[in-house]
Structure 1
Amino acid sequence: MATTVRRTSITLPAAHLGEENPLPALRTPADPHQVHERDRAGLPADMARQIGYAPLRSLLPVRRLDGYDRHRTPTDLDAIVIENDRLRATVLPGLGGRVYSLVHKSTGRELLYRNPVLQPADFGLAGAWFSGGIEWNIGATGHTTLCCAPVHAARVPAPDGGEMLRLWEWERLRDLPFQVDLWLPEDAEFLLVGVRIRNPHHRPAPVYWWSNTAVTESPDTRVIVPAEEAWHFGYQRSLRRVPVPRWQGADRTYPVRGERPADYFYEVPDSARKWIAALDGEGHGLVQTSTDQLRGRKLFLWGNGPASQRWQRWLTEPGTDGYIEIQAGLARTQLEHLRMEPVSELSWLEAYGPLSTDPDAAHGTDWTAARDAVARGLEAALPRSYVEEAYRAWLASADTEPREILAAGSGWGALEVLHGRFKLPGTPFDEATLGEEQRPWVELLHNGRLPTGSLDVPPGPTLVAAHWRELLETAQADALVEYHLGVAQWHAGDRAQAVRSWERSLKAAESCWVVRCLAVADAESGHPKRAAERYLRAFALAVESGQGDTVLGALAREAVPALLAAGRAEDAETMLGALAPGVRRRGRFRLLAAQVLLALGDVSGARGVFDAGFEVDDLAEGEETLSETWFAVAERLVAGSGPVTETVRSRARAQHPVPDAYAFQPE
């Protein structure tokens, strides 16, 4: 059959994603992918330099997506299918362009881990993320802010004259447009993927890319890669060079032999072909390869500990398969960002397809023989020279304009093109995609002012790039302009000036938005009592101005911990009581309620919250709040009216272990 690209839909049990958090994300996001400064001295010079290059200061201008839940209902999702007589790939343009499924038609094998549900969890840079398939991670260390967002999609002529699917968007953390072209040459058993990132600005930009492929984990799954060493990262802020395959008494290329979550970043020699494969006990599985620009290869495994297994179940349904991730990136590790020169582009070609090899060789004790067997099988199925030729042919098609738009992304790219007058052949950011969120900024660009508006209504997202900050600085000042300017200055690191802008906004018109920003500034600068006062005032203003549950819930989520830190437990209790019942029933607020009861001295009441049961929908990767609160309650139960000593802590942990339902942290 000829290669086709067609629209369809799939139905999955899916949780509701909810609304974006309307409060600008002023705090530096928590990042479990950190390396102690003292440990960087022992790393290769380029790796150490790139680990320290351009760390993410904030999520701005992106807003957090933390309003999702865990109540799944059958949901129709837009999908695009690319198919020839050998493979069928299903792509979800409304969810970051994720390749949800890749089926080898002659055997019926699913080559990816295909999650049977869509269940968001707080693993993404902006919050919501879901597991499975192939995702395209651009921006900064972690899962892209676009993983639950729509991207543009279109039908485009493929290099071989067939049809190709083009995905593109504007990555807002680094202000860079990118495209992902997917096609299946006729009779090909490999999905070809051309990727291009462009820096249209007259300044360098940090760049990050990792293609993340989830594959099913079985007891005999082995990950094979052309490397004899790897950098191990165990989420304890250190990188160490380890041998491959055996380390600490076990063959670590079998993910089930790991105890805890871990990353293995492989040292693939510069001259070697770049590939990584995951094969089952019979020698069947998926292989990913690329041109040499995509130099990094990685294995992520959950480990077989109880907390790791709990996370796996959290992301899908009990009784379903576990998964691992095999990944490919621009740098050796995901902790690094590269410098992209002004007015330049990066591009490469990837290929994904089935691989079958001699199981005795693939699973033998001779690591060199295992690698050689996979390398020979890959070369026979997809020669390295073919990949290079396909890359050159694709480059000639990368600027081809789309034939038919299949899905629409955001309007932010159109706004940036309008401002910068960029010419980006092949990826049209049409002005027709501009929407209500972009409208005030179009007004600022064309007329030097923001539309007159009241801060009694949500002010919408703030743009923080230098060129927008400069327009705000010269705009006619009012409460709204000063609010947005303060957010942009905060993002730029000029916190003192940000506070002054917010104070000027308050003089013009008091609003919950600005008072909350000042509360964050107080908390960040070590003034907890003042921060508490301002959070109380911000919440009161939100109530007075008729803000809805989304705003009040977002404020309370920040304010209650700040009030507890300032010793204002009674005020925290009152604030929680002012929320709508549906908000108070959410797991995050049940956890806050337990913390408030504990601070008020009602230890049995706090324990009762846990005994009644709740789920923190947006529990973050690496977050210890749940277990910390449980043990704080247990310690008070054991200590009674006495002090909490080390002996009490030990007894509390022994007598009151974390129940399975709350066991997300490894012991």
Structure 2
Amino acid sequence: MATTVRRTSITLPAARLGPENPLPALRTPADPHQVDERERVRFPPGMARRIGYAPLRSLLPVRRLDGYDRHRTPTDLEAIVIENDRLRATVLPGLGGRVYSLVHKSTGRELLYRNPVVQPANFGLANAWFSGGIEWNIGATGHTTLSCAPVHAARVPAPDGGEMLRLWEWERLRDLPFQVDLWLPEAAEFLLVGVRIRNPHQRAAPVYWWSGIAVPESPDTRVIAPADEAWHFGHERSLRRVPVPEWQGADRTYPLRGERAADYFYEVPDAARKWITALDGEGHGLVQTSTDLLRGRKLFLWGNGPAGQRWQRWLTEPGTDGYIEIQAGLARTQLEHIRLEATSELCWLEAYGPLAADPAAVHGTDWTAARDAVSRGLEAALPRSDVERAYQAWLGCADTEPKEILATGSGWGALEVLHGRFDLPGTPFDEATLGEEQRPWVELLHNGRLPQGPLSTPPGPTLVAPHWRDLLETAPADALAEYHLGVAQWHAGDRAQAVRSWERSLKTAESCWVMRCLAVADVESGHPKRAAERYLRAFELAAEDPGQAHAVLAGLAREAVPALLAAARAGDAGALLGALPVSVRERGRFRLMGAQVLLAQGEVREARAVFDAGFEVDDLGEGEETLSDTWFAIAERLVAGAGPVTESIRRRARAEHPLPDAYNFGL
């Protein structure tokens, strides 16, 4: 059959994403992928420099997506299918352009881990993320902010004259447009993917890219890459060079032979062909290869321990097989960002397809023989020279204008093109995509001022890039403009000036939005009592408006309750929780906060009863230990009574009150 690109839909049990958190993300996001600066002296110089280059300090201008739940209902999802007589790829343009499925038609094999549900969890940079398929991680260390966001999609002529699917969007953390072109040459057994990241600005920009590929996991799954060493990053939060395949008495290329979740970043020699594969006991599986610019290769595993297995179940449904991730990136490790010079671009080609290799060699004790068997199988299935030729052919089509729009992403790219007057052939950011969120900024661009209006309604997202901050600096200084200017100044690191801007806004018109920003500034500057007062006032102002969205009150409570507890105001924290709408108060995150408040008030048994009744924290974060910390704090107080909590009390509490499996999410 000729290659086709067609629109369709698939129905999956999916949890409701909910609204964005309307409060600007002022706090530096927690990043579990950090190493001590003193460790960098052990790293190769280029790697050490890239680890220290432009780490993410803020999610701005992106908003957090934390309003989802765990109640799944059948949901129709927009999909685009790319198909020839050998492969069928299903892409979800409304969820970051994720390749949800890749089926080898002659054998019926699903080459990817195809999650039977869409269950958001707090693993993405912007919080919401879901597991499975192939994702395009751009921006900064972690899962892209676009994981659960729509991207633009269109039908484009392919290099071989057939049809190609183009995905594109504007990545807002680094302010860069990118595109992903997917096509299946006629009779080909590999999905080809051309990727381009462009920097249209007159300044250099940090770049991060990792293609994350979820594949099925079983006891006999082995991950093979052309490397004898890897950089290991695990629960110790330390990056160390380890041998491949065996380390600390186990063959770490079998993911289920390790207990804890871990990353292995393979040291692929510069001259070697770049590839990675995960093969089952019969030597079958998926292989990924690329042109040499995409140098990094990685294995992520959950391990066979209770916590890792608990996370696997959390991300899908009971009875579902587990998964691992094999990944490919621009740098050696995911702790690094690379520099993209002004008005330049990065381009490469990837290929995904089935691989069959001699199982005796794949699973033998000779690592070199296993690698050679895969290398020969890959070269026979897709010669390295063919990948290079396909890449050169794709470059000639990368600027081709789309001939049919299949899906629409955000209007932020159109706004940036409008401001910068960028010429980006092949990826049109049409002004027709400008929406309500972009409207104030269009007015600022054209008329030098933001639309006037009260701050009693949500002010919308703040743009923080230098060119927008400059426009805010010269706009008429009303309450709204000063609010947005303060957020932009905070993002730029000028916190003192941000506070002054917010204080000027507050003098003009009191609002929960500005009061909350000042409360965050108080927390960050070590003024817990003042922060508590301002959080209480921000919540009071929001609650006075009967039309205020629940997302505003929920967002304020998430921040205010910990701040009130830190200021020894447990009573006020309890009253604030009690003032939340019932639908918000009954969510797991706020029930956990309720237990913490009860503990702080000395109502230890009542706090324990919250856990005994059972709850789920929908947005529990990767590496977050709030559940276990609160459980053991309650247990220690139950054992100690009114007495001091000594080390022996702590040991006894853990022995007498072990953490239930339902609350065990430690990594």
On the 8 A contact 2:235/2:260 being kept in 1, the answer is: no
Secondary structure, counterpart of 2:264 in structure 1: strand
- Residue in structure 1 matched with residue 256 of structure 2 by the alignment: 256
- Residue in structure 1 matched with residue 113 of structure 2 by the alignment: 113
- Residue in structure 2 matched with residue 542 of structure 1 by the alignment: 542
Give the Å deviation of 1:41.
Answer: 1.0
Deviations 1:351-389 (A, max 9, x none): 000000110011111111110010000000000000000
- Residue in structure 2 matched with residue 418 of structure 1 by the alignment: 418
Alignment of 1:70-81 (within 5 A): 70-81=70-81
Give the Å deviation of 1:38.
Answer: 1.5
Secondary structure, counterpart of 1:631 in structure 2: helix
Secondary structure, counterpart of 1:397 in structure 2: coil
**Partner letter of residue 560 of structure 2?**
A
**Partner letter of residue 663 of structure 1?**
N
1:48 and 2:48 correspond: yes
- Residue in structure 1 matched with residue 179 of structure 2 by the alignment: 179
Whole-Å separation in 1 of the counterparts to 2:600 and 2:220: 49
Give the Å deviation of 1:395.
Answer: 0.2
Deviations 1:305-353 (A, max 9, x none): 1011000000001111000000000000000000100000000000000
- Residue in structure 1 matched with residue 483 of structure 2 by the alignment: 483
Unaligned runs of 5+ in 2: none
Deviations 1:186-243 (A, max 9, x none): 0000000000000000000000000000000011000010000000001322111001
Alignment of 1:78-477 (within 5 A): 78-477=78-477
Whole-Å separation in 1 of the counterparts to 2:47 and 2:284: 34
On the 8 A contact 2:154/2:402 being kept in 1, the answer is: yes
Whole-Å separation in 1 of the counterparts to 2:287 and 2:639: 54
On the 8 A contact 1:34/1:335 being kept in 2, the answer is: yes
Whole-Å separation in 1 of the counterparts to 2:233 and 2:227: 17
Please report the TM-score for the alignment, with normalisation by the length of structure 2. Answer: 1.00
1:645 and 2:628 correspond: no
- Residue in structure 2 matched with residue 573 of structure 1 by the alignment: 574
Give the Å deviation of 1:553.
Answer: 1.0
Whole-Å separation in 1 of the counterparts to 2:657 and 2:377: 53
Whole-Å separation in 2 of the counterparts to 1:228 and 1:661: 39
**Partner letter of residue 541 of structure 2?**
L
Deviations 1:118-152 (A, max 9, x none): 00000000000000000000000000000000000
Secondary structure, counterpart of 1:308 in structure 2: helix
Whole-Å separation in 1 of the counterparts to 2:471 and 2:502: 17
Whole-Å separation in 1 of the counterparts to 2:105 and 2:55: 43
- Residue in structure 2 matched with residue 595 of structure 1 by the alignment: 596
Whole-Å separation in 2 of the counterparts to 1:172 and 1:391: 27
Give the Å deviation of 1:557.
Answer: 1.0
Deviations 1:397-448 (A, max 9, x none): 0000001000000000000000000000000000000000000000000000
**Partner letter of residue 419 of structure 2?**
H
- Residue in structure 2 matched with residue 22 of structure 1 by the alignment: 22
On the 8 A contact 1:78/1:94 being kept in 2, the answer is: yes
**Partner letter of residue 660 of structure 2?**
P
Give the Å deviation of 1:545.
Answer: 2.9
Secondary structure, counterpart of 2:31 in structure 1: coil
On the 8 A contact 2:445/2:471 being kept in 1, the answer is: yes
Whole-Å separation in 2 of the counterparts to 1:146 and 1:160: 30
**Partner letter of residue 28 of structure 1?**
T
Deviations 1:433-483 (A, max 9, x none): 000000000000000000001000000000000000000000011000000
**Partner letter of residue 570 of structure 1?**
G
**Partner letter of residue 616 of structure 1?**
V
1:35 and 2:35 correspond: yes
On the 8 A contact 1:32/1:235 being kept in 2, the answer is: no
Whole-Å separation in 2 of the counterparts to 1:653 and 1:561: 25
On the 8 A contact 1:33/1:235 being kept in 2, the answer is: no
- Residue in structure 2 matched with residue 517 of structure 1 by the alignment: 517
**Partner letter of residue 212 of structure 2?**
N
**Partner letter of residue 140 of structure 2?**
A
Give the Å deviation of 1:634.
Answer: 0.4
Give the Å deviation of 1:549.
Answer: 1.3
**Partner letter of residue 579 of structure 1?**
L
Whole-Å separation in 2 of the counterparts to 1:125 and 1:473: 29
Deviations 1:474-523 (A, max 9, x none): 00110000000000000000000000000000011000000000000000
- Residue in structure 2 matched with residue 628 of structure 1 by the alignment: 629
Whole-Å separation in 2 of the counterparts to 1:556 and 1:301: 35
Whole-Å separation in 1 of the counterparts to 2:544 and 2:504: 21
1:7 and 2:7 correspond: yes
Whole-Å separation in 2 of the counterparts to 1:56 and 1:235: 21
Secondary structure, counterpart of 2:396 in structure 1: helix
Give the Å deviation of 1:526.
Answer: 0.4
Alignment: residue pair count: 666
Whole-Å separation in 2 of the counterparts to 1:646 and 1:365: 46
Task: Give the aligned CA root-mean-square deviation in angstroms.
Answer: 0.5
Please report the TM-score for the alignment, with normalisation by the length of structure 1. Answer: 1.00
1:557 and 2:558 correspond: yes
Whole-Å separation in 1 of the counterparts to 2:235 and 2:104: 35
- Residue in structure 1 matched with residue 500 of structure 2 by the alignment: 500
Whole-Å separation in 2 of the counterparts to 1:252 and 1:368: 15
- Percent identity between matched residues is 85
Unaligned runs of 5+ in 1: none
Secondary structure, counterpart of 1:557 in structure 2: helix
**Partner letter of residue 559 of structure 1?**
A
Whole-Å separation in 2 of the counterparts to 1:534 and 1:45: 46
On the 8 A contact 1:29/1:58 being kept in 2, the answer is: yes
Secondary structure, counterpart of 1:231 in structure 2: strand
Whole-Å separation in 1 of the counterparts to 2:605 and 2:423: 64
Give the Å deviation of 1:548.
Answer: 2.3
**Does 538-547 or 415-424 show the bigger shift?**
538-547
**Partner letter of residue 194 of structure 1?**
G
